[in-house]
Structure 1
Amino acid sequence: MQQPTRLFDFPRYQLQNNPLELMMSMPNGGNRINYSTESFIEAVDRVGRGLIAMGLEVGEKVALISHNNRCEWNIMDHGIMSAGGINVPIYPTMTEADYEYILNHSESKYCAVSNQDLYDKVMSIKDKVPTLQGVFVFERASNGTHWSEITEAGSDAQQAELDNRMNSVKPEDLATIIYTSGTTGTPKGVMLSHQNIVQNILHSIPRIPP
C-alpha cells in the first residue's frame, strides 16, 4: 500500500510499515484492554464480517453513541466502513427527541451504545424508528444485547465478501454523517467522504512533531 486513501486503510498501512504492540488501550476496571495493530485489525474484520452476516448492505448506516473514548467505538467505526456501511456518530448528551430525529433522518439500520443509560434512552424511541433493527451495548446491560453478538455473527465465510467490499470502496464514497448538536433547530447532517477526512489527516502530518 503506497498511501491510505480510505479511512480503514490507516491501520493496515500501519501493520505493513510500522506495526505496534500497543496501538490502542483503555481502562477496564483494574484490567486495561490493549490492542496491537494486528489484533485491532482482527477485531475490525470480525465486526465487518458480523455486520455482513446480519444483513448490512453497502451504503446502509450504523449509529454509534458513547459517553467516552472507547476501543469498541473505533473498532465499530472501522468495521462499519470496511463492510461498506456509513457511520452515524451521535452525541450522548442529545435528547430522546434528537435521537429519534437523527436515527430516522439517517435511516440507521443498527445502533451501538456504550452503556445501560444510553441503551435505555435509545430503546425508549426505537419503536418510532422503522429502519432500526437492532441496538447493541459495549458494556454488559441488564436487558441489552451485548455488542459481541455482532462479532460472533460472522464467520470466515464472510471474509471474502468483506475483502470485496473493502476493495470496492472509493475515496470519494461517503464515510460518515456527523450531525450538529441541534441547539438552534433540528440537527443537521454533515456528509463526509473518506477523501475529505483522509486528506485532512495526510496534510496534518507535517505539523506533528517527530
Structure 2
Amino acid sequence: MDYLQLAVELIIGFAALFIMTKILGKTQFAQITPFDFISALILGEMVGNAIFDEDVTISKVLFAILVWGILIYSIEILSQKAQSMRGFLEGKPNIIIDKGKINYSALKKNKLDLNQLQTLAREKGCFSLHEIEYAILETDGSISVLRKHEYETPTKSELNIPYQPVQLPIAFILDGQLKEENLKEAGFDKSWLKQQLSSRNIQNYSDVLYAEWRGDEEKLYITQY
C-alpha cells in the first residue's frame, strides 16, 4: 500500500471518528454502558478495516461510520425519551452488598467474583468489605459504596465546624502561558499578578509552570519549572 494513501486514510479516518465522537457526546469516552463500549469498538474497527484492507475504500468506511453514528444517536434519543427502554439499552445497577451482606446471586448474575469485588471496593477506599453497608454495581462496571455508620467520614456539620464559602480554584498560568480570561473572572489584572510574582522573585510568566488562585483568604499557589 502506498504510504501517502495510508497517511490520507489515517487522517480522514481520525477526522471522521473525532467528529462522530463529538456529535455522540462524552459517553463514548467514558463507555458508561455496554452499548457505549460496543459502539466505540465498532467505530475503531471500521477505520482499521479501511486502513489495512485494500478492498475496502475509505468512502465505504465513511458511509459505514455515518450510518453507525445515526444508529447510535437514534438509540441514545430513544433511551432518553422512553424510560421503559433504558434498562434494556443501558443496563440496570445491581445491589451486590445489601445491609452489610454480600448478595452472591447478584455477583453470579453479573459474572463478578469476590476478588474483583475486593478490587472495586479498594478503588473506593474500602479495604475491608465489612465496612460496606450497601454497594451498587453501576452500568459502567464500577461500584458505588455507602459505608456503615461507624466507618463513615463525619461531615463538617456533624463536627460543628463553622460554615465557610467554597471557592472554585482558578488557574492563572498554565505551562508558562497567562490565562487572562481567568484572571479577569477572578477580579484581578496583570499588574496585581506581576506583583505577586515579583514578591517571589519571578519576573516572567514563562518561568511559571502552574499558578492557581483558591479564594480571597488563600495565597496564590505557584509552581515553577
Q: What TM-score do the two structures reach when normalised by structure 2?
A: 0.23
**1 or 2 for the larger relative contact order (CA 8 Å, sep ≥6)?**
1
Could you say which structure has the higher helix fraction?
Answer: 2
